[in-house]
Structures are given as structure tokens and as C-alpha cells.
Structure 1
Amino acid sequence: MNTTELQRIKQRYNIVGNSDGLNHALDVALQVAPTDLSVLIVGESGVGKEIIPRLIHDNSPRRREKYFAINCGSIPEGTIDSELFGHEKGSFTGAIGESEGYFGITDKGTIFLDEVGELPLATQARLLRVLETGEYIRVGGTKIMKTDVRIVAATNVNIRKAIREGRFREDLYYRLNTIPIQMPPLRDRGEDILLLFRLFAMKMAEKYRLPKISLTDEAKQLMLSYKWPGNVRQLKNITEQMSVLSPSREISGEILSHYIPHDPESTELAPITKGGNHSYENERELLYKILYELRGNVSNLRRDMSSLRKQIDEARGLNGATGFQTPIIAPTKPAMPGLQPSSLQPQPLDAEAELIEAEEEDGDLNLTSLGRQMVEKALRMANGNRKKAATALGISDRTLYRRIKQYGL
């Protein structure tokens, strides 16, 4: 692409800079625009990836059709399929009518999927089918729909790492990555940093009627040596801050250093093609781990409660014939070596009493007051006849005698 055409494109889209990486990205975008090939734009957050899909659409045969830019990371996982592919009436709560979805509305046009690496795996499978056949099914529907859309995607995460971790489909990556476009980070654009600073400073001066700020040679060197982890977005924010807050209109290195973060974490980069972790991946993985462990704890608690409820119900049913409601609480671990939950069943009749004794001796459960009340009630009903009382309690005479002696009855 010649220099004249390149400058025309930059003026039309307000693109500032002359670095080789930026010019190459624009050149590839213009070359691929007349085709229908899928494009994957790779670059760190804040480098201006959103300019490329607009440029591709405006210079393609689809330029008179609709263009939709969708941030995949901002749509909740539970509704993203409906947003993209539409839904049928009544397919879920709140679906009071039909919806075409973005792929239906944008038929013949271009869809820009920003942060495509954040798509759930199920949605990735649907998207792969659209890329391969142009077909999809609405949420809650059975009819196969057809669409003819140009897909341009962008990501700021390490897709290859996401593939290794099972968070992104490898086949979808190769379908999207037909034409890759790498947007360079600001720290690699050299003098473009100073050009962008002058642009942002001029816009602030015009918008708020302020004296325009400028940089000393020392401040320029600091600008060029800083790593800019937030890229163009961070440069714009710092320029706006200095335009409003700085009492001096000439920004020295000392003044600039007060606006640039000095903590080590602020200069940690998010490499895309050279390996390493994206700046948010560690936090995301930690959250996934916490949620997974929490789900396991909840499942174990639900299982234990279900088992406990079943044992209590069985115990009540077994004791119904004697007229007593004896709640039996099973310990989570056997109170005695070799004791299994099945030993709670009254076979032999003395098993229940032996279990209570073991639990009292082990300190797991304190059933002394409950056992005293049961023995007293049984003796009253049997008019003091120990044999009848032992039979009613489902224990042996020996155990009853031991209980009477223990409780001082």
C-alpha cells in the first residue's frame, strides 16, 4: 500500500502514528477487506484493536450492510447464546417473544466479536458451526437458521495457553485465525507515543479552553522509556490528568513521574505471542479454584445431610412399634474401629445400646440425659418390671441394669 493511501486511511479513522507495526496492521486489514475471510486481531488491552474491524467492514463489499461490535466478555454466560443466536418465544423465563439475535440481524453484514477468548465452550461450538456452514439454531428452537456474516474477532489473552488449559477450542481458533493481525503495544511504537501525547493534549485544550501542555526533553525520554502496560488508553488518561491538574503547562520529568505509576506490578506486561500469563488470568484461575472447592464442599454437605435424614427416618420407623421416638444420629466416622453405619440397625437388639455407649465413651455425642429419660419412661410403663422395660427399649437385661446403676435410678 502506498504512502498516500495509508495517510488517507489514517485521517479518515483518526489513526495517529507511523511505526512499522501499526502500518503493517493497517496494510493487512486493507488487503483482506475485499474478501470474506475470517480475521483474528491479537493485541494487548488498550492498543486500539477496535479500529481494524471497522476499517475492514467499511472497505468490503458488505459496507452498506449492518455492522455490529459485541463485547463477549460483558454478556452473562446464561444469556450469551440468546444474544448471539436468538431465541424462541417461551424458551426461558422472560422470553415473551422471538428474537433474531445478532447473527440474524446482521445477515449479509459484519460482526466484530471483541474478547472472543471469554466465550463459554458451549457458545464456541455454536460459533464454529456458523463459521463452517453458516447454520445455527435459536435457543429453544428446532429449526435450522441460515446466516451470511463476516466475522472479525479480537482477543487480548494468550489463546494458545487457553487451548492447553481447555478453555478455548483449538478448531475454532484455526477457523478464526485465517488472517491474523497483530496490533503492536504502545511501548514498541517509539515516536508514536509523543505524537499521541500531542494529540490528546490538543484535544483537552480545545475542549476545556485550557492552555496546552508540552513536554521537556527529560519528560520525553521518560515517556519513551516507560513500558505503558495500559497502552494508548493509559497514555490518554495520564495526558488528560496532567492537562487538568498540573499547575505548570510545561511538563518536566519530575512532574511526569508523579502521574506515572511506580509500583512494579504496573509495569508487568501481558505478552500475547511470546508466552507468559495475561494480567488477569491468575486472578481468574484462582476464582475458578475457589468456586470448584466450594462446590465440592456444598456437595459433600448435601450428601451428609441426606444420609443423616434417611437414618433418622429409619430409626423413627423402627421404634414406632415400641411407642418411643428415638432419634439416632449417625457419626460421620465410625465411633469404634470396624463399626459401620449398617450397625445402627437393631440386629442384634443390643447393637443400638452398644453404639450409644461407644459414642458416649468417645465423646462424639452426649446422649446421657436422653438415655436417662428413656429408661425412666420405660420403667414407669412397665411398672418397675425390668425385663419388660428392657424388651420395650430393645436392649438386654444386662444393659438395662447397667443403665439403672449408671443413672442412679
Structure 2
Amino acid sequence: VQKTDVRVVAATNVNLLDRVQAGKFREDLYYRLNTVPITVPPLRDRGDDIYLLFRKFTADFSEKHRVKPISLTPDAVRLLTRFRFPGNIRQLKNLAEQISVLELDREVDATRLTTYLPTAQTSLLPALLPGHGAGTGAGDFGSYSERDILYRLLFDMRRDMTDLKKVVLELASGGPRPTADAQELLRQNSHLFTNLTDSASSAYPGPEVPADSSGYLLPAAPLRVEVAPAAYDDEEEDAQTEDISHETEEETLSLDAIEKEMILKALRKHHNKRKYAAQDLGISERTLYRKLKQYDLESA
């Protein structure tokens, strides 16, 4: 018989006592798991910790990347501690790192901090343009349902796709000498080019929707596609291919030489600061000193 010790670490944002009373959680299991309870309140309930954690994250970032840490003015500190932080500690850490990367001025006031804090009005949902709300006039979409508008857009997309198929068909089959690849492409995809006339003539069967959709859709710039004819010179292409194939780059395959070069690059990068050079190379300072002595680079 083999025995083992098990330690269970469980986390939840549900009040288990309420669940036990409601019969949603086993009472005996609750008392078996509830040995050392640790309650961690959300960040919005720990306003005094927000600024301390912010300073900790900015200090860690500055030490890692060797830059001056970010500091906040008193009004910025008050703004930071009053923010809800729905993303808790991860949102605060991302905010600290974002400001450390983007801000050139290392002292941030409340005005600058506001640009990094999401507002309640921020949303990824589609929104109407100002002055173009539903029911604001006779020429808008107020009297049409969203389904009618969606159907109209789908039929317009279908007509555009039909026109695109016609263009592809003309390009593939046109010209005095259609290539074999073009003919094979048409043969394999002939089902895509059937009933083009019927598809193009089919109109939206629902109620007429005004063509002006500025109230719902932002104006988009027209897409311009220009296809330029390509000219090929077989002799020139063969010559270029031959020249490239004969190009050889002389490089050393000696591991010692490569290692020596990497050490020199790291030292130059960090201005001969061996501590940072060793960190950049992923080795200890003791190993770096040994390598410098091995390659006679102690004076480097």
C-alpha cells in the first residue's frame, strides 16, 4: 500500500456558505476543504494598496530595462486610487508597464493619466453618428427594421460578388491566347461561373431601404485595384538566377571564433559593463571572466 499526502489549494469568488445553505454545495465537503481560508478582496476595495503596487510595477520595469521609473503627481495619485480596476491586479500592472513604455516625461500628471484609463463611454459596439439617430427624419432608417437593413446589405454583397466573378471570368478567358493554366482553372471551377446573369438580376425582395446609410455605416474609401501587365525576359531571369546561385558567403564555422565575437559584441553593447554583458549572453559573471581570460580579452 502506497500512501501520499495531498494539499488542495482552491480559489473561488462564490460565497460557499450561502451555497451550502441553498443546497448547492455539500456541507461536509466545505468543512473538509476549509482549513486555512484566505480572503483576497478586489483591488477596488484596497485603495491604499493601488499606488504602492503601481510603484512596485514601475520599479520592476525600470530595473529590468534600465530606464528611469515613472512618478505620479499628487492629483494623478488621487485619480489612480479612485479608479475601479475591473481587471484587478493584471490591469494595474499592464497600465504601469504601458505608461513606462510610452511616456517620455517620467512624471505623469492626472491629465496624462486620464488618457490611459478606459472610460465608461468606451465601447466596441457599433454606434450611430451624431445627428443620425433612428427616427430623426424622413430620410433615415428609423422606419426600417434591422433585419431589412441586413438583408439589403447581404443582397448588395451578393451582387458585388457576381460582378467580381464576371471580371475574373473575362480575365481568365480573354486575350488571343488563353494560357493552359487559365483554361484548367476555368474547367475546375466552372460551377462558380454558372447562372451569372440570373444572380446579377436578382434584386432585394424586401422593402426599399434608402441608399444613404450614413446613419449606420461610416464612409469607406473606395478600393482601387490596378493590375499592371508583367513582362518576363527569360534570358535576363536565367542570368540573374545563375548569378545568385554562384554567390557564396565566406563565414567561419569555428565555435570559438563565434563565441569570441559574441562576447565582444555584448561588451560593446553594454559599454564594457561585464555584469550586463553576462546577463545578455545568458551566462554568469564568473563564466564571462573565464572566457575573457581564455580568449585573451581581459583588456577589452
TM range (shorter): 0.3 to 0.5
Larger radius of gyration: 1
TM-score by length of 1: 0.27
Greater length-normalized contact order (CA 8 Å, ≥ 6 residues apart): 1
TM-score by length of 2: 0.36
Normalized per residue, which structure has more strand? 1
